[in-house]
Amino acid sequence: MDSDRIFQLIDTVVPFEACLYYQVLPLSLEGNIFTLGVVDGQDNSALDYVQRILAYMNCSVTTEQIASETQRSMLSAYLLHGSQVTEPGPTETAAIPTLKNPAPATSHSESETLLSVPQPSISPGEEFQTASAATDTSAGAEVDPTPAPMPVLDVEPLHLSSPVEVLATLPAPQLLQELLGRVLLDGIGRLFFERPQSQGRILWSQDGVLKSIVEGIDPVLFEEVIDELKRLTDMPVSPVEHPKQVEVERIYQNTHLLLRLRVMAVGGKEEATLQVLRGAALRFYQQQQLSSLSREALQLAKELQRKVNLMRDRTRLSPLPLEGLPALEQVVRNVDGQLEALMHEQNPEEL
């Protein structure tokens, strides 16, 4: 499977949450033939949903049976690819399908717009921030078992019923409030901050469907809105030189959300995307994160065991005092206590 093509089709045609719910995977788009991978070939609801999405593209849909493990593995890879992909060269940028605005449009440019989703070059060694990551503690420090309360996201849009042209006249803080008020409505929402020319534009899509476009944004205002997004997600406001991604968890109207902000330098100027995950998509993402953390923790535990074995063997050959042994013992006790708590949470009836 061509993972890059699949990721692009998830970004622009069949949204992640729909893939997860209907157990499908967009495989390719060749001319006007769209190939859809399906786990259950008898599930007509999945095919009907995709056909409705593709109606505006004048495409016919063909299906291909795929294994459930293949579909879930690819979705897992999609969620993680933001921190692993390399920056495409000028000749590697693939064409992205044209999306039509489902709402009545006032001009041709609003009714048929190219969603050029930027793919950042974030390698595993480059900056990747997670707001929920634990802070470092000293070797002998006790770990507080009580998690901090999740911050609440306050959004107060005042112009939800106003034409989108009004948004470009608002100051940056209020403009961001209006954008968030729309992107947080439901499903998987995305905001795309692009600079096709000297001025900026902001596109809002929901579950892969383009909803509206704010065009003709003053360059200064465009930069200020991106800075407001950085503050919202605890990303440094200073301009980025390399693509950077940050993820923050928030509570909005009693709903758990994950906000994923990517900022990248394009031609010396910043562009950005904001994605909102919730519900089944968020739970799937969290499960993949936990699986990844479990594998990393196991590797670290094996390395610790190997180091302790080396210490034991060398002290047998040449007995010497180990200054760090008490601190190491305290760390192991802390970890052991946390593991017991995790085991109790996973299997409370067995303990």
Q: Which one, of 257, 264, 159, 263, lies nearest residue 214 by Cα? A: 159
Residue 341 has what pLDDT? 84
> How is 4-34 classified by DSSP, letter by letter?
HHHHHHHHHTS-HHHHHHHTEEEEEEETTEE
Task: Tell me the C-alpha to C-alpha distance, in Å, between residue 195 and each of 100, 116, 200, 349.
Answer: 19, 10, 4, 56
d(CA 163, CA 168): 10
**CA atoms within 13 Å, Cβ hemisphere of 282:** 20
Residue 290 has what pLDDT? 80
Residue 177 has what pLDDT? 92
- The domain 98-277 is placed in CATH, from the list 3.50.50.60, 3.40.50.10710, 3.30.450.90, 3.30.420.40, at 3.30.450.90
Q: What letter would DSSP give residue 187?
A: S
Residues in the chain, overall count: 351
**Six-digit token string for 250:** 């928030």
Contact 240, 271 (CB under 8 A): no
**Six-digit token string for 334:** 């802390």
Domain residue spans in the chain?
3-83, 98-277, 286-320, 324-351
pLDDT per position in the chain (351 positions), as tens?
788 899 888 877 887 877 887 889 999 998 889 999 999 888 888 888 788 777 767 788 889 999 988 988 888 888 776 444 333 333 222 333 333 333 333 232 222 222 333 333 333 333 334 333 433 444 444 555 566 788 898 888 888 888 888 888 999 999 999 999 988 887 778 888 988 778 898 988 876 677 888 888 999 999 999 999 999 999 999 999 888 988 888 999 888 888 889 998 888 889 998 988 887 777 777 777 787 788 888 889 999 999 888 888 888 877 777 778 888 888 888 888 888 888 887 776 654
Q: What letter would DSSP give residue 158?
A: S
Residue carrying structure tokens 């406001």 = 237
The two domains 3-83 and 98-277 share their CATH topology (first three levels equal): no
Residue 81 has what pLDDT? 64
- CA 138 to mean position of chain CA atoms: 31
Helix (H) or strand (E) holding 201: strand 200-206
Residue 174 has what pLDDT? 93
Residue 46 has what pLDDT? 80
Which residue type sits at 149?
Answer: P
Tell me how many degrees the CA angle 328-330-335 measures, rounded to the nearest 5: 95
pTM of the model: 0.57
Residue 136 has what pLDDT? 43
Backbone angles phi, psi at 290, to 5 degrees: -65, -40
Coil, strand or helix at 282: helix
Residue 313 has what pLDDT? 84
Fold of 3-83: GMP Synthetase; Chain A, domain 3 (3.30.300)
Contact 178, 160 (CB under 8 A): yes
